[in-house]
A and B are shown apart, each in its own frame.
Chain A
Amino acid sequence: MKQAQRYFLLKFFGILIGGFLIISFGPVERGVVIPFTSLLARMSGAILRVIGEPVTITGTRIASPQFAVEILNGCNGVEAMLILVASIFSFPASLAARLGGVLAGSVAIQLLNLVRIVSLFLLGAYHRNIFDLFHSAVWQVIIILASLGIFLFWSLKFAKRADMATSA
């Protein structure tokens, strides 16, 4: 493994742990993460109403007569955004390319996350037996794969040294 790759890994985990400590810091969690999660709940609720689900939204909780779900950390896509930020900021690229990658990638992750929340709600309401499986494993993996896929795409298109992403 090249030194640049070892450096990438160190930076990746450094930024990841640093970012995690920031978002799990009480005031940041209460002032930023929870309001953001509430926004996600409202957007998911709006989509669910459009497709005919009689849901009500209270903070980060989406409820209908059949099922109720609370969006917690780990299900709000912030963890996937953190992996994206850590990957992009560990990679050699211009600041503009990094910011553009983080912004566009985060929007893409959150759009996918809306699909996750809506589909999980529908699974919970109509196929409760497979809800846990999809909640714990399937969607978590898909979201992180999406984050990695966005990073690899970005690294090939915009990064200064794309060969780092593709050769060891």
Chain B
Amino acid sequence: MRREPIWPRALKGLIGFALGFALWWGATPQYNELVRRAAEPIIRFSETTPSTLLRLKGREVLVVKTDLPRGTNRPGVPLYDLTFNVVLLSVLFAVDRATFSNRNVVAFLLALLLLYFVHVFGLVAWINHLFATDTAQGRVNEYSAFSRAFWYKAIYFYRTVGGLALAVGIWWLLRPQHLLGGTEEVSTPQPRPRRNKR
């Protein structure tokens, strides 16, 4: 059995981490706009009288309620806190044996697309959690005790473990066959050929 040295993979992982980090930090303002555009209609669709607008401010998304008086507190959602799992995803795809193979690159792009939907869901969950708990937003009464607990748990889960676990799940779903050395690294005892006795 031939074992690959671990250091080239570790180096790839480190480069993947640096590039993923640069992508996450550098593209955050543009990317946040994409997430905001998708989340806003979902939030407005759930309202009896659509009155919520989402506005970008730095690396945050401000929740603006047009039916509330000017000067009302506009809570912000730190979107970077929801999107940093892209760094983890970059590392996981970078450590592949054939990092720049078509298959790995396509799988990574597809994973980014899936992660985008995860981020939109994360933002929607966070805003619903805000509406369900922040009395200043004037919507607390629209949420039952169950839905209040649901949105609280959903965003708590996402922020503590779910966001990262979803990135791992997406990678697991799309990872190429030859990941982590392929089957040649696996030691499976083969039965010895039997000799016929005369």
Binding site for B on A (CB under 8 A): 1, 5, 8-9, 12-13, 16-17, 20-21, 24, 73-74, 79, 82-83, 86, 136-138, 140-141, 144-145, 148, 152, 156, 162-163, 165-168
Give the dominant DSSP class at B's interface: helix
Shortest Cβ-Cβ A-B pairs, 9 listed? A79-B161, A74-B160, A137-B84, A168-B177, A144-B164, A167-B183, A163-B186, A79-B160, A141-B88
Q: Using A5-B172, A141-B84 as known contacts, say yes or no to A13 and B165 having CB atoms under 8 A apart.
A: yes
Q: What residue of chain B has the Cβ atom nearest to residue A144's Cβ?
A: B164
Residue of B nearest to A73 (CB): B160
Contact A166/B182 with A20-B160, A144-B168, A145-B88 known, Cβ cut-off 8 Å: yes
Most chain A C-beta atoms within 10 Å of own C-beta, residue among B13, B84, B181: B84
Residues of chain A with a CB closer than 8 A to B186's CB: 156, 162-163, 166-167
| Docked complex Cα distance between A5 and B174 (Å) | 11
Q: Please indicate the chain B residues that have their CB under 8 angstroms from the CB of A148 in the complex.
A: 92, 168
A83: which B residues are within 8 A, CB to CB?
161, 164-165, 168
Residues of chain B touching chain A, judged by Cβ–Cβ distance below 8 Å, are 13, 17, 21, 24, 80-81, 84-85, 87-88, 91-92, 153, 156-157, 159-162, 164-165, 168-169, 172-173, 175-183, 185-188
Q: Is there an interface contact between B88 and A152, defined as CB atoms closer than 8 Å?
A: no
B81 and A166 within 8 A (CB): no
Whether B182 lies near A9 (C-beta < 8 A) is no
Q: Which residue on A lies nearest to B87, using beta carbons?
A: A141
Asked if A156 contacts B185 (CB within 8 A), the reply is: yes
Q: A20-B160, A136-B80, A136-B81 are in contact. Are A145 and B13 (CB under 8 A)?
A: yes
- Give every chain A residue within 8 A of B185 (Cβ-Cβ): 156, 166
Complex CA distance for A1 and B91, rounded to whole angstroms: 21
CA distance A2 to B36 in the complex (A): 36
- Given A9-B169, A137-B80, 18 new contacts (CB under 8 A): A1-B173, A5-B172, A13-B165, A74-B160, A79-B161, A83-B165, A136-B84, A137-B84, A141-B85, A141-B87, A141-B88, A144-B88, A145-B13, A148-B168, A152-B180, A156-B185, A166-B179, A168-B175
CB distance from A10 to the nearest CB of B (A): 10
A-B contact pairs, 7 of them (CB 8 A): A8-B172, A12-B165, A20-B160, A20-B161, A83-B164, A137-B24, A163-B186
Judging by beta carbons under 8 Å apart, are B164 and A168 in contact?
Answer: no
